[in-house]
Structures are given as C-alpha cells and as structure tokens.
Amino acid sequence: MTSKEEIVKGMKEAILGYKKDKCLELAKQGMAEGIKPLELIQEGLTPGIQELGKKFGRGEVALPFLMVGAEAMQGALNHILENMPKGEYKPKATMILGSVKGDIHDLGISIVEAVFQANGIQVYNLGRDVMKEEFLEKAEEEDAEIIGTSALLTGTMFEQKVVIEYIKKQGLRDKYIYLIGGGACPGQEWCDEIGADGWATDVLLGLDTAKKALAEKKGIEL
C-alpha cells in the first residue's frame, strides 16, 4: 500500500510533469486506498496547479503546457468528485463562467473551472461565445453567487460591459458578484469603468479576487 504522502506528492508531480494518465491513476489509487477525497484535492491537486500557475506567471511555462497540466488536474478532480460519497464535497459558492459573445476562444476558462472547483466553488462552464442572456439565465437557475466573463480578444472586451449592463437592467446587479478576466482585460481601470467587482488575468489572482469578493459581499469564507 502506498502512503497518502506519496500519493498526494505524486499527483502534484504529475500535474507539474503534464502527465494526465498518471494523475488520474493516482487519484483512483488514493480513492481505492481510502484516502479522504478532500485530502487528495487539497493536498495533491491544488498545490500542483497553484505551483504550475506561478511558473506560468513567471514566464517559465508556456500556455499550452499550462493547459495540459490543468487537464491532468481536471481529469483527476472529476474522478474524485464523481466517486466521493454524496454530501462530502460541499461547495460554498457557485459561479457561472464563460467567454463573452464573439469570443471564440475558451483558452484559460477550463483552468479557472478546475482551480475554482478544487477550492470550494462549483463552476458551470458555459464555454465560448456566450450571450448575455445565457449568463444570467444560468445564474438564476443555479442560484449562483458569481458571474464571471472572459474576453481573450480585444474586440470582444466591450461585451463584458454589455453583460453587466444587462444584469443591471434586470434589477439583479446587487444579487451577483461580477468578475471579469481574460487576455483582453486591461485591468483595474476597465473594471472600475464598467462597475465590475473584480478582475484578473491569471487563475490564482482570479481565485484570490473571488475569495475576497465572496467574503466581503456574501459573508462566505473559503
């Protein structure tokens, strides 16, 4: 029998080594050997993707490799969530996520989905080219706390404003935390201009921003 320490260390190393099959194999082994699912997530998957994210931020890892590492984590995370006892994984918040209308790229949002879910935020990923109505409809359907929009292309950045204006027109602005991100997101100035609650251009900053907003606006501590 392999120790818990060896398994969680191996999962972290598999993410950093872009080994999807190995990461999934270790997740299955950990579950089979009775290691608590949340320990596999918090001690193996989360540290692995966080370290990879930091390397990406320092320019040590290219985006395609970051994507593969995130896929390794996502595959293992999906297996754990699907096979853990009902009620053990209890997300503290829900987020609706997608790339705005006209943005045909979904690079990065799968990474956000994986990292946020591993940190207690249930994510509904709507994918790319999402209409403003779809964001709000899904948020209402799932009773979400957060709506997050991504814009990778400069020409689609304005759609982030379109979404928040639509939410305001429905009289629901105060109900939701509205976060923006993506490669086209210029930062705090744009965030302030459209009245968003936070912005990020990398996943770890995004997670910190979401945690802060949840604590301040919803009283939810992650």
| Sign of the torsion formed by the C-alpha atoms of 80, 82, 88 and 92 | positive
Instruction: Please compute, for residue 91, the number of CA atoms within 13 A of its CA located in the half-sphere on the CB side.
Output: 21
At 147 the pLDDT is: 99
Taking the C-alpha atoms of residue 167 and residue 163, their distance in angstroms, rounded to an integer, is: 6
At 186 the pLDDT is: 75
Q: Select the more confidently predicted residue: 123 or 46.
A: 123
Domains of the chain: 4-83 (1.10.1240.10), 93-218 (3.40.50.280)
CA dihedral 37, 39, 42, 44 (to 10 degrees): -90
- Among the residue ranges 11-20, 82-91, 196-205, the one predicted with the least confidence is 82-91
Quick one: average pLDDT of 190-210?
91
Q: Which among 173, 170, 147, 172 is positioned nearest to 160, based on CA atoms?
A: 147
pLDDT in tens, 144-160: 999 999 998 888 899 99
User: What's the pTM?
Assistant: 0.79
pLDDT over 80 (residue 87)? no
Instruction: Please compute, for residue 36, the number of CA atoms within 13 A of its CA located in the half-sphere on the CB side.
Output: 7
Q: Select the more confidently predicted residue: 18 or 36.
A: 18
pLDDT in tens, 90-128: 899 999 999 999 988 776 787 788 888 888 899 999 999
At 214 the pLDDT is: 97
At 50 the pLDDT is: 83
CA dihedral 221, 116, 43, 20 (to 10 degrees): 170
pLDDT over 70 (residue 30)? yes
- The H or E element that residue 209 is part of is helix 203-213
pLDDT over 90 (residue 136)? yes
Side chain identity, residue 42 = Q
**Ordered DSSP codes for 29-93:** HHHHTT--HHHHIIIIIHHHHHHHHHHHHTTSS-HHHHHHHHHHHHHHHHHHHHHSPTTT---SE
At 63 the pLDDT is: 82
